[in-house]
Every structure is written in C-alpha cells, then in structure tokens.
Chain A
C-alpha cells in the first residue's frame, strides 16, 4: 500500500505530538494527531490506520507514576481494539512517555500470561532514574535484536533522551533473561564505540543497559530516546563540528522502517 496512515495519540499532557507527526510525514506517512477521547468515543476509527504512535510528554502530569494514568485509561477503554490492532499485523510505537504507557499496559514486552493488555500482570517497568532527576542528554543506541521492524540491526544510532523515569527493571531475573535471550531488547545504551557503561553512557541505570523493548511480534516497540528529535542535521548536538551533514539523520531510520514495512506488507 502506498497510502500509509499513522495516528499520533494525544492526551492531556502529551507534548511531542507535533514533531512526531512531522517525522512520520517526512518518512512518507500521512499522520494525524487525534485525542484519545475521540478514539474512546469511536474505537473503530483505528481501522483506518496502520501505525499507532504513543508520543512523548507527561500524560496526566505523570501523576502517580510516568504514563500510569494514561495506561489505566487505555486498558479500561481500548484494550480489545489495541490487541486487535497488533494482531492485525499493524505497528505500535511508543516514545518516552509513550514507552512508559506501553510497558505499563503490558504491550511491551508483552510477556504476561493472557497476551492481552493488563494492569495486573506487569513483568517489567520504567521507574525513577538512578540519578534521581530528569535528564536531557544524547545517547548512543546499539540494536539488540534483528526481529524488530523499526530498527536496522546493524546501525548504531545517536538520539537524545529527556526523562526522569526511564530506568527499566524487571520483576524477576527470569523475566530479564527471557528479555535478553529471546530478542526483546530493541536497543541498549552504549558509548560511541558500542560499549556498555555506567552513567552517563547508561543515563538512568536501566538493567542490562536496556533503552528500548519490543514484543514477540517485533511490530511493537517502546523506546525512551526521542527519534523525532533527530530528523534533520541541525538538531545534532555538535552539528557545527560535523564535516558531512548529508545523509539521513539517525532518528528517521525508525520512522522510515515503519512506513516501509506498511508499504510492503499491506
């Protein structure tokens, strides 16, 4: 299909919706920003889209915990339709706060028993950064799997993070092993040479340096860094030092892969 349609889900406190829409459009999708209230009123509208993005922000102020109140809303009102969306082979992407929503609804890593969205059987979560505060800084990301449609398995990318609750922890060692061994880790925080390390290489203290997770299908991904903030070279934190400012900015890879996947598979 040529006419790829993406929905960028808005909610109270979501604030990266415009730049996410812009990135999707640069990648060739037709992107719409739609408030969750409209989707709850008419869930069938999701049928018209192939990509769903939970963008970044502070949904409901991140009150209680980051993404929690929106996750609660999604599970209570959109559980079935979202489950169906993924079952239909469509793509779901969560960025920063969107990732927090996805992990708290169980969409990623998607390891709870029922395979459905759930608030009671969470296997992993995103919690307070070890440094105890919000941090905006750039990080290198090393792909950790070859079965996630959003990423190029061989391409290490450079993106900014901006969050206070981005530390991934699993409920048990066993969950962590599954995530590591079965290809659920989409990206890890590394240094410029690809080595894992402590702060600030791993900016929040995530277990196993995990920055992004996918599910068993590889069609849902949540990541803490912001690919929509690096779609043009002048966004790079030392672009004035770079000799070669041509080529595609790293963040575009994720959106382009998503759009191309839909083009090829629908």
Chain B
C-alpha cells in the first residue's frame, strides 16, 4: 500500500475564507503577532494506486481547480521574508471522520481499486513572529479540541497512526459480593458508574441472591439503565419539603406535579404522553405531531461543535423512534451561555471561553440540522455568567406521524436489527457522565464521552426508514441515545426479553470489547424489531440506498437480557431487576422565601438610554446572526419564519409551519424561559415561562385550546435540600400553570448536577432553569398574524394589566439590581386574556400582535415599530395599570405577565373593544408614519423619543458578528 498525502490550498487571488476566520479568532485572544493565516486541507490516503492516478485524485476530486491548488506530498514552509509556523490538526484515531467516508466512496466511483484508509486533517500556516507559547495557545483555543483532535507542529511531525489493535475476547467478572461499603463506592467511582452506595448495595444484594459475581458488562448495563440521565431518579423520589417551616410531602415528585396535570386534564387530543421517545398529539384526522426537547449540556461544554451537533442529531432520532417512526419537520434550539465578552483571564481552567462555546454550538446545530434538511424554526439565547462552565444546549424536534402509526408492537421471535451508523468507541459513558457534576479535569477524563456525528448517515437512515415504515416491514423502532444499545435494546426488550450477539454489531474499527460495543453512544443508530419473514424485503430497501442494517439478536420472550460474544455468554440480567430493581429515594427539600427588597431608582425625565441599553443587552438583542445560519425554510413549509417584517428582520414570537403540502393547517412552536425570575422565586419563574410560551403561540394565531407543552429542567446538585426545594417550587408551578391554561405536558427531560468545581475549589452552579417549549395547532395558516406594525393610522392597544413588577427585570438588570417584585400571575385572568386575543385574531381584527416580555412594554413597542418600519406614538394614560404602578419606569419596563400589544384598524375599534370587555386593556397609541418611537407618560411628559434606526441599531449590533 502506498501512502499519499494531498494538500489543498486556495489559489492566489482567491480568498482563504477559513484562514481569515482563524485570524479573526486569534485577534480575539489578544495575540497580535500573527499577521496572516493560510489554511489548507490535508488528505492522507492509503491505497494501491500509482502516481498518475494520484494526480487525477488531486485535480478531479480533492481540489476545485478553478480556485484551489493541490500538492502531492508535504509542502514546506512558504518562501518569503515572514516567519511561519506550521500547525496540523488531525482527528484522534477512532473519531468519526465523515469526509473520509465520502472520499472513500468517491474513490470507488473513480475506480481507485483497493483503498485501505482515508484520513483528513487541517493545516495552518501562521505568518508572523509567533512564540511557541502563543502557537500552543492558538492551537488549543482556536484550532483544535483536545478531546477529539491531535495537534502536530512543524514540517517533520507525523500524524497519528490510524490503526487500532484487534480485540482479544476476555470475560471479566467484577467481584462485588464481599465488598465493604467503602469498597462499593470506590468501585462505582473507578468504573465511572456514578451509582451511589444504596444502588451499589442493591446490586450487591441481587448478586448474593444469584450466588455469583457480576460480569463487567452487567454492571455497566445497570449503571447506564439506572443513570440519572435515563431514569430521572431525583424527580421520581419521594420528597419531604419544608416550605417556610410548613411540611409538604410528595410520594413521587414528578408524578404528583408534571404528570398529574396531564392526567387531570385528560385531553382527548393527547395520543401518547411520557411513554415514548416524544409526546404525541392529534394534528388532523390523518396525522399526529410529536415533539421532544433534549439537552446536551456536558458534551457541549467539552466539545461545543460536536456536542451540539450530536445534540440535535440525537433529538431528531427521538421522533424518528416515536411510535413506528415520525418524519421530522422542524427543529428548535435554545442555548444558555455566559456573556460572550467575558475577559479571557476570568475563564477558569478546564473551561472554554463562552464566545468559543457559542460559536461552536451554533455551528454544530447549523451543520447537522441543515444537512438533515429539517428547518430550525424557533429558539432563544439566554446569557448569564453562571452558565460559564455549564452551557445549556436544548435541542428540540417535531415530527409528523400517521395516526395509525403511533404505537409499537414488538413480539417474541422478532429479530433485533441495528440500522444506520457503525459502532465505535465514541460516546462511551455519555449517560453516566452527563449525570454527574463537572470538574476542571473532565476535559481529560471524559474525552471519550464526546460523540461525533455524521448527519448524512442519519439522513440516509431516515430516508429508508420512512419507506420501510410505510411498507409495514418492522414492528417496533427506537433510537440509540444515551446508553447506546444497552438502553435501546434493553428498553425494547423490557417486556419480552432479548438475546444479543455482540460480535455481530458492525464496528467502525477493530478493538472494541464486548462491553464497549454494548454501551457505546456512537451516533446515527436506530434499532428496529423485524419479523423474520420481512427481513429480505427490508434489507433490499436499506441496501438500495447504501444504508447498513444488521441482525444482532432476537426478542425471546424469556424476560431476560442475554448478551453473548462469539458464542460465549458474557452477561445475563433479569429484565425486572434491570428496569424495576432500582431503589427508591427519599429526599429532603427546603424552601425559604427570600427576603428581598425593591431598589430605589431615581425617576428620570427621559428613558431613551435605558431602552437602548435593554435593547442592546445580549438577552434581548437580535439573534439574526444565529438565525440566518440555520436553514429555516427547507421542506418549504414555513409560514411564520423567525425573522419577518418590512425588512425581514423583526423578531417573531413563534414559528408556524404548514407541514402538509395539501392542507392549510399549521403547527406553531414557541418557548418560554426566564432564569432571572428564579433568583427571586422559581415558582413564579415557571408560571411566567408557561404564560410566555402560550402567549407567543397565541400571538401568531394558534388555538389556545390546543396547546401542549414540554418541560426541560436544568438544575444544580439536588442532594442539597435548598436546590431541591427550588425544584419542588418549579414543579408545583408546572402543575398549577398547566391546569390553568389547559396545556398538558406531553414530554420532558431533566439534566441535573449542572455544577462545576474549579481547580481552586470554587463551585459554580447554574441558575434554576426550566425551559417550557410549546406546540400549538393553527386551524388556517392564512390567518396567521405577525408582530410588525402594518399601517400608519392604526391603533395600538395594550391588553393585560401592567403592575409594578420589575423584580428580575431587564430594567433592574442594567442597573445591577434584582429587586423583589417578581412578575406574578392571575391565572384565571391570563387564560381569559389568551382566549380573547385568539378570538380577535380569528375574527380578523388584529393587524399585528406582540407579547410583552423581557424589557416590558417599551421594548415590545420598539420591536413592533422597527420591524414594521413605521413609528408608534404612545400615551401611557391609556395603559391599564395596577394600583401600585404609578412611575413611568414601571409602566415602561415592568415585565408583568399575560400582556399583549395589538394593532387594530380604526374601523375595528368597536368590535375589538367589545371583545375585550371586562378584561384590563386600553388604547396606548397609534402607528405613525414618522420613524420614531414617542412615549408620553401619565403626566404628558415625553419619556421616550427615539429614532427607529437608533433603536434598531442598538438591538442589532451586539450579536452582529
């Protein structure tokens, strides 16, 4: 075999876009010695072909000869007076390399003969007097990620060898029966099982009963299945809560709050809730829609690009694995980061800079979501420095599924077939790892928990699975997510029993032990149950589109999980013990109402600066930089896009898609979250989140009677009673909010232990974060409403009561205050308001509609105005206010819930006013031609008078990267 090395570079006169990007990032590290960066791609091909063929590969395949040069072999340092340093970045051996796979198939098309391996790398030439330390900083901070990549310096260094050692079968037993308590804890730690003493004792007792020692794969299976990530043991615990001295008891926290609301509401349009990979509700007579939101926090902290990409890749597989498989039609993404302008020296060891995390996360979701051809239509960004070491990455996916395909039915005798990607060492221990807290050493220890995705493998798998579903060729389907095959096969076989021959699982490379095969979280794998008589037909469909599918076992009916490797039994577990054996927990929780006070801020004559500052704060600012990188229009279904308005740049409240080409019915998606309020009281934080999510849907025209919601808790260490107490408060609000709005929870997920221990021992815990995602049905998308004002002369109404509720507001935030008066809610009134607004929209009375949330009335008005390219003149005398709301700043910036701003044509004044009878509302202004926002307070003093361009610029600039 010959080793061929190709280097591909931009031709002279053509821009080196990636080099320029790297140069910009280096500048952000305050390194000024680098004057220019040249980026090149490197391909290492081990193959039989000769020089002439290699030259063809260079010019026909690897280089675009119009704008690129190719070079066979290793080129040295470029000639010239400037000093140059060479850095090459290569994937560590075993890390998925999608490009290499495509090059292999292209070489086959060219008739290249035998190709042993293809690897790709990136080469950077830094020009300038760069010191060795700087060079290493640049490599580490900008060019490479230690978790998945190796860096080599200079011209002589060689990339790492691609070859792995084959695996020699060796059955390992782990003696456990005679261990002391300390030794049990030690063992759990040594094996990265993240199981506590009580759980280890339960396992010990089981094996004493069985009168044998467990094998390694049995222990690993239990650790995966019993991980916080997979069974949510904290939320299912019984809780003794001390609420300001008063005792409250829950036998099963989640069952008595979130699940209970769904049960009590008992909506007949809910098809499948909390039992499958996603929650399913009715869409129309033929179809249902399902929705799932997952977090991928820990992996994204270590490798933002790969972590986020596999976050979206993973959640797409949830609808694909719901019922008999849904077709994914929309993605959502919500991220929490520390402020991107944080000083470098403030970032602790073992943590990536928030700007790098953000860029990597956005790029990861972009590349995976766009490649899957699923529009990313809704999302949010939230910044708080407590997310520094624990960024949160929520990814959601909505799927469309035929009504008759909503349930699975695996039977004994079905074959276990794994479809899609191959299994590698990537993502081992992801489920257990994501269940623990992080430390500065995680970067080194848990690099193997990071997964690398290949969207095209998943897309091909999806294409063929939908064909096989419609041909009724399988009986059940689920995705390989956390815990890999151990969870997927283990769950599918829970009621039946299953036997798996692990050596049959196709591998990316040799060397994996049977345990690694079983628990690997390699991406893009689905598991289906196939009747033997359908096997040939289903394989034909997979083969026709180059999708790998392999029979790895059989569902048995013996209610046992049996694992074999090359004929030897390596593990056997009772399904009952595996799924039901986990001990139950009793936990202590404590909530003390915080003693906070309201700050005294001096009244001002003019609030332009405050408004500009809020508009320019990262949380409120335009997210256009992110949104435009996502294909939000693929599938041709978009109705309300994330950015619309006169110049296509106004922030919409929710997204609407029309998922069927021949029907005008739509699905609306939104979210609500405000961790700021949680610093005062997580109960009101969650109610505000539910109200905001519902409001957002109502604003675009969704039916408030048909809204389903999802919960995603991201919390700190719940073994602390105070932290758990906050979670209990949040859960109580979930129940109250869902009951009031009639919005059942249909799916949810939690990610706990989002804490980080710095090398100096300081602990950073994230703020209490509960994301509410909402999905609503729009009867006729032609009636959808957007938030941009439409016409000068139209009237602007504010519906809902404005109270003196600046606690946790952005107004206080820009003044470095928290306050005490967190926005509360009159639940009955909130629900009534949402119904009236929906009715007004249905009757065609509403020209534009926008919800008042972060930044209050002033921000909402500014956004409506600049999105529509028309001014608003407002008079706060018309605002319906609470008795305590007398000051101009409270009227402008209070974040009271349940408020909407509505634009109505003058001729519809009466009809609209009649509809709003008996709820707080008032005409607050008028749309004007003049491109200004003018607000007069109750005393007729002009408190805001700003040009729309100035407002819009302040709003667009912060994240216009």
- List the interface of chain A (C-beta within 8 A of B): 10, 12-13, 15-16, 18-19, 22-23, 35, 37-38, 56-58, 60-65, 68-69, 72-73, 76-77, 104, 119-120, 122-125, 127-130, 132-138, 160, 162, 169-171, 226, 228-229, 231, 234-235, 237-238, 240-241
In the bound complex, how far is the Cα of B60 from the Cα of A128, in angstroms? 18
Q: Report which of B455, B629, B639, B788 forms a contact with A133, defined as CB distance below 8 A.
A: B629
* B634 with A16: CB separation less than 8 A: yes
Given A68-B64, A128-B17, A169-B67, A235-B545 contact (CB < 8 Å)? no
Flag whether B635 is at the interface (Cβ < 8 A): yes
User: Given the complex, which residues of B lie within 8 Å of A18, measured CB to CB?
Assistant: 635-636
Given A122-B66, A128-B17, A135-B628, A58-B370 contact (CB < 8 Å)? yes
User: Given the complex, which residues of B lie within 8 Å of A124, measured CB to CB?
Assistant: 66
Those of B1-57 within 8 Å (CB) of chain A? 14-15, 17-18, 20-21
Flag whether B372 is at the interface (Cβ < 8 A): yes
Taking the nearest CB of chain A, how far is it from the CB of B124, in angstroms? 16
Given A13-B371, A35-B544, A60-B636 contact (CB < 8 Å)? no
Q: Report which of A134, A229, A240 forms a contact with B636, defined as CB distance below 8 A.
A: A229
Taking the nearest CB of chain B, how far is it from the CB of A170, in angstroms? 7
Closest 3 pairs between A and B when the two form their complex, measured CB to CB: A15-B373, A19-B636, A63-B102
Q: Report which of A38, A130, A171, A235 forms a contact with B66, defined as CB distance below 8 A.
A: A171
Q: Report which of B103, B110, B366, B635 forms a contact with A134, defined as CB distance below 8 A.
A: B366
* B456 with A13: CB separation less than 8 A: yes
Given A132-B18, A169-B66, A72-B106 contact (CB < 8 Å)? yes
Q: Report which of A13, A37, A162 forms a contact with B459, defined as CB distance below 8 A.
A: A13
User: Given the complex, which residues of B lie within 8 Å of A238, measured CB to CB?
Assistant: 644-646, 648, 786, 788
Those of B624-649 within 8 Å (CB) of chain A? 627-636, 638-639, 641, 643-646, 648
Those of B513-568 within 8 Å (CB) of chain A? 544-546
* A136 with B545: CB separation less than 8 A: no
Taking the nearest CB of chain B, how far is it from the CB of A153, in angstroms? 26
Q: Report which of A35, A64, A137, A226 forms a contact with B99, defined as CB distance below 8 A.
A: A64
* A119 with B102: CB separation less than 8 A: no
* Known A162-B633, A169-B14; 11 more pairs at CB < 8 Å: A57-B373, A60-B102, A63-B102, A63-B456, A125-B64, A125-B66, A125-B67, A128-B17, A132-B18, A229-B633, A231-B636
Those of B441-456 within 8 Å (CB) of chain A? 454-456
In the bound complex, how far is the Cα of B370 from the Cα of A113, in angstroms? 36
Q: Report which of B110, B634, B639 forms a contact with A76, defined as CB distance below 8 A.
A: B110
Q: Would you list 23 pairs from A and B whose C-beta atoms are within 8 A, ordered by A residue?
A: A13-B456, A16-B373, A23-B636, A35-B545, A62-B371, A68-B61, A69-B106, A72-B109, A76-B109, A76-B110, A119-B60, A119-B61, A120-B60, A128-B15, A128-B17, A136-B629, A160-B633, A162-B370, A226-B633, A234-B782, A238-B786, A240-B784, A240-B848
In the bound complex, how far is the Cα of B638 from the Cα of A134, in angstroms? 19
* B21 with A132: CB separation less than 8 A: yes
- List the interface of chain B (C-beta within 8 A of A): 14-15, 17-18, 20-21, 59-62, 64-67, 98-99, 101-103, 105-106, 109-111, 366, 370-373, 454-456, 459-460, 463, 544-546, 627-636, 638-639, 641, 643-646, 648, 658, 661, 781-782, 784-786, 788, 790, 848, 868
Question: B61: nearest residue on chain A (CB-CB)?
Answer: A72
Question: A33: nearest residue on chain B (CB-CB)?
Answer: B463
Question: B547: nearest residue on chain A (CB-CB)?
Answer: A12
In the bound complex, how far is the Cα of B631 from the Cα of A133, in angstroms? 12
Interface SS of A by simple majority: mixed
Question: A230: nearest residue on chain B (CB-CB)?
Answer: B636
User: Given the complex, which residues of A lie within 8 Å of B64, measured CB to CB?
Assistant: 65, 68, 104, 122, 125, 127
Most A CB atoms within 10 A — which of B544, B636, B643, B788?
B636
User: Given the complex, which residues of A lie within 8 Å of B454, measured CB to CB?
Assistant: 61
* A12 with B628: CB separation less than 8 A: no
* A38 with B636: CB separation less than 8 A: no
Taking the nearest CB of chain B, how far is it from the CB of A22, in angstroms? 5
Question: A124: nearest residue on chain B (CB-CB)?
Answer: B66
User: Given the complex, which residues of A lie within 8 Å of B631, measured CB to CB?
Assistant: 134, 136, 162
* A132 with B17: CB separation less than 8 A: yes
In the bound complex, how far is the Cα of B372 from the Cα of A15, in angstroms? 7
Given A13-B371, A72-B61, A238-B646, A136-B633 contact (CB < 8 Å)? yes
Question: B372: nearest residue on chain A (CB-CB)?
Answer: A15
User: Given the complex, which residues of A lie within 8 Å of B109, measured CB to CB?
Assistant: 72-73, 76-77
* A60 with B105: CB separation less than 8 A: yes
Given A122-B64, A123-B66, A237-B648 contact (CB < 8 Å)? yes
* A135 with B629: CB separation less than 8 A: yes
Taking the nearest CB of chain A, how far is it from the CB of B705, in angstroms? 23
* A61 with B60: CB separation less than 8 A: no
Q: Report which of A15, A135, A171, A241 forms a contact with B788, defined as CB distance below 8 A.
A: A241
* A240 with B786: CB separation less than 8 A: yes
Q: Report which of B17, B627, B782 forms a contact with A130, defined as CB distance below 8 A.
A: B17
* B61 with A137: CB separation less than 8 A: no
In the bound complex, how far is the Cα of B648 from the Cα of A138, in angstroms? 8
User: Given the complex, which residues of A lie within 8 Å of B18, measured CB to CB?
Assistant: 128, 132
Question: B636: nearest residue on chain A (CB-CB)?
Answer: A19
Question: B14: nearest residue on chain A (CB-CB)?
Answer: A169
* B634 with A162: CB separation less than 8 A: yes
User: Given the complex, which residues of A lie within 8 Å of B628, measured CB to CB?
Assistant: 134-137
* B110 with A240: CB separation less than 8 A: no
In the bound complex, how far is the Cα of B65 from the Cα of A171, in angstroms? 8
In the bound complex, how far is the Cα of B110 from the Cα of A64, in angstroms? 15
User: Given the complex, which residues of B lie within 8 Å of A137, measured CB to CB?
Assistant: 628, 648
Most B CB atoms within 10 A — which of A38, A76, A170?
A76
In the bound complex, how far is the Cα of B208 from the Cα of A94, in angstroms? 67
User: Given the complex, which residues of B lie within 8 Å of A60, measured CB to CB?
Assistant: 102, 105-106, 456
User: Given the complex, which residues of B lie within 8 Å of A237, measured CB to CB?
Assistant: 641, 643-644, 648
Given A63-B98, A119-B61, A171-B66, A12-B635 contact (CB < 8 Å)? no
In the bound complex, how far is the Cα of B14 from the Cα of A13, in angstroms? 28
Q: Report which of A10, A130, A234 forms a contact with B781, defined as CB distance below 8 A.
A: A234
Given A64-B102, A128-B17, A72-B546 contact (CB < 8 Å)? no
* B632 with A22: CB separation less than 8 A: no
User: Given the complex, which residues of B lie within 8 Å of A228, measured CB to CB?
Assistant: 636
Question: A231: nearest residue on chain B (CB-CB)?
Answer: B636
* B15 with A130: CB separation less than 8 A: yes
Most A CB atoms within 10 A — which of B14, B109, B631?
B631
User: Given the complex, which residues of B lie within 8 Å of A68, measured CB to CB?
Assistant: 61, 64, 106
Most A CB atoms within 10 A — which of B99, B102, B545, B790?
B102
Taking the nearest CB of chain A, how far is it from the CB of B88, in angstroms? 18
In the bound complex, how far is the Cα of B544 from the Cα of A18, in angstroms? 19
User: Given the complex, which residues of A lie within 8 Å of B644, measured CB to CB?
Assistant: 237-238, 240
Most A CB atoms within 10 A — which of B98, B456, B786?
B456
In the bound complex, how far is the Cα of B636 from the Cα of A228, in angstroms? 7
Given A170-B66, A237-B641, A58-B633 contact (CB < 8 Å)? no
User: Given the complex, which residues of A lie within 8 Å of B639, measured CB to CB?
Assistant: 234-235
* B98 with A12: CB separation less than 8 A: no
* A241 with B632: CB separation less than 8 A: no
Question: B41: nearest residue on chain A (CB-CB)?
Answer: A64
User: Given the complex, which residues of B lie within 8 Å of A62, measured CB to CB?
Assistant: 371
Given A15-B372, A68-B64, A120-B60, A61-B635 contact (CB < 8 Å)? no
Taking the nearest CB of chain A, how far is it from the CB of B20, in angstroms? 7
Taking the nearest CB of chain B, how far is it from the CB of A199, in angstroms? 12
Q: Report which of A136, A170, A231 forms a contact with B632, defined as CB distance below 8 A.
A: A136
Taking the nearest CB of chain A, how far is it from the CB of B40, in angstroms? 14
* A134 with B648: CB separation less than 8 A: no
Given A13-B459, A238-B644, A73-B546 contact (CB < 8 Å)? no
In the bound complex, how far is the Cα of B14 from the Cα of A169, in angstroms? 9
In the bound complex, how far is the Cα of B20 from the Cα of A222, in angstroms? 29
User: Given the complex, which residues of A lie within 8 Å of B648, measured CB to CB?
Assistant: 137-138, 237-238
Taking the nearest CB of chain B, how far is it from the CB of A23, in angstroms? 8
* B106 with A61: CB separation less than 8 A: no
Question: A128: nearest residue on chain B (CB-CB)?
Answer: B17
